[in-house]
């Protein structure tokens, strides 16, 4: 069974631009979560989608948004990029939207904002 | 609300020695607990998890962890370190509730193995 895939793997953007990251979950998984990883703040939860609905949201500004499609694929969008948005963005998929199911992580998209 | 504290941002052991990575959690509800490993330029890989039942949990690559409710701990151990164990390790907690698929991670512990 194929794992979680994320595209693109690397991205360089300029401050003020917007970016869209894509995540394809493991087949059969309906929950997709997004995390931001930075050296200073560590791993922080952005949001979770289940059956095309946002179920949970972390403490990030409204510039960070996401959506999920009927095939469970998910996209994350960051508008008006800031230098501090440079990070590794990780997507994780899970069978269901309860805490007991493990999340399977993709390799991440490394975003650099200049 | 949940939180995780990993004691020691860097741990160094000799090859063949015991690996002990410490994790303490705080949770207002009974937690689910996880250990993940991250190799350079990769995502996170699940090592093991505790949900219910036996408090000593065995995972992949010879790792195990014990859930101790009284100590709010979930320390990760491996009897004999291997060079390939060098990586960053993250302890995480999630809540036992529907619609709460949110992992709260510790700051991570970088494990170095000395030959």
pLDDT of residue B5: 96
Mean pLDDT of chain B: 92
Contact A13, A19 (CB under 8 A): yes
User: What's the mean pLDDT in B14-40?
Assistant: 93
pLDDT of residue B65: 98
User: What's the mean pLDDT in B7-15?
Assistant: 96
Distance between CA atoms of A87 and A64, rounded to whole angstroms? 13
Contact A100 B96 (CB under 8 A): yes
What is the phi/psi pair of residue B61, to 5°? 60, 25
From B7-16, B25-34, B51-60, the region with the lowest mean pLDDT = B25-34
Largest CA distance in chain A: 39
**Burial tier of A53 (Cβ tally within 10 Å: 0-12, 13-18, 19+):** exposed
pLDDT of residue A80: 97
Half-sphere exposure for B90 (CA within 13 Å, toward CB):
20
**Cβ contacts of residue B53 below 8 Å, gap of 6+?**
none
B98 contacts in chain A (CB < 8 Å): 97-98
Tens digit of each residue's pLDDT (9 = 90 or more) over B58-103: 999 999 999 999 999 999 999 999 999 999 999 999 876 555 568 8
Q: pLDDT at residue B12 above 70?
A: yes
pLDDT of residue B91: 97
Q: pLDDT at residue B28 above 80?
A: no
Contact B104, A43 (CB under 8 A): no
pLDDT of residue B100: 59
Q: pLDDT at residue B9 above 90?
A: yes
Residue B47's nearest CA partner among B38, B60, B58, B56 is: B60
What parts of chain A have a pLDDT lower than 50?
none
Q: Measured between CA atoms, how close is B56 to chain A, in angstroms?
A: 17
Contact B101 A4 (CB under 8 A): no
Q: What percent of chain B has pLDDT over 90?
A: 76
pLDDT of residue B36: 97
- What number of residues does chain B have? 115
pLDDT of residue B99: 55
Distance between CA atoms of A105 and A38, rounded to whole angstroms? 16
pLDDT of residue B87: 97
Strands (E), chain B: 3-7, 10-14, 19-26, 31-38, 44-50, 56-58, 64-68, 73-78, 87-95, 104-105, 109-114
User: What's the mean pLDDT in B105-112?
Assistant: 96
What is the phi/psi pair of residue A91, to 5°? -110, 145
Contact B101 A58 (CB under 8 A): no
Contact A105 B108 (CB under 8 A): no
What is the token pair recorded at A99? 């805490």
What is the token pair recorded at B58? 């065995």
């Amino acid at each position: 069974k194929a794992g979680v895939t994320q595209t693109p793997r690397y991205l360089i953007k300029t401050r003020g631009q917007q970016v869209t990251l894509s995540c394809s979950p493991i087949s059969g998984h309906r929950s997709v979560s997004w995390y931001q990883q930075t050296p200073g703040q560590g791993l922080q939860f952005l949001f979770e989608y289940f059956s095309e609905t946002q179920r949970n949201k972390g403490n990030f500004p409204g510039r960070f948004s996401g959506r999920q499609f009927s095939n469970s694929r998910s996209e994350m969008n960051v508008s008006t990029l800031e230098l501090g948005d440079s990070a590794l963005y990780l997507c994780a998929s899970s069978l269901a939207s309860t805490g007991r199911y493990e999340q399977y992580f993709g390799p991440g998209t490394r975003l650099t904002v200049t | 609300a949940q939180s995780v504290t990993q004691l020691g941002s860097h741990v160094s052991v000799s090859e063949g020695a015991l690996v002990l990575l410490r994790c303490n959690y705080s949770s207002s509800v009974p937690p689910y607990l996880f250990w993940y490993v991250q190799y350079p330029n990769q995502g996170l890989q699940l090592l093991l998890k505790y949900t219910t039942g036996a408090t000593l949990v065995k995972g992949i690559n010879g790792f195990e962890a014990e859930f101790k409710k009284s100590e709010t701990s979930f320390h990760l151990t491996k009897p004999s370190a291997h060079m390939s164990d060098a990586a960053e390790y993250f302890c995480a907690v999630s809540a036992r509730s529907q619609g709460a698929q949110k992992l709260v991670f510790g700051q991570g512990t970088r494990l170095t193995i000395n030959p």
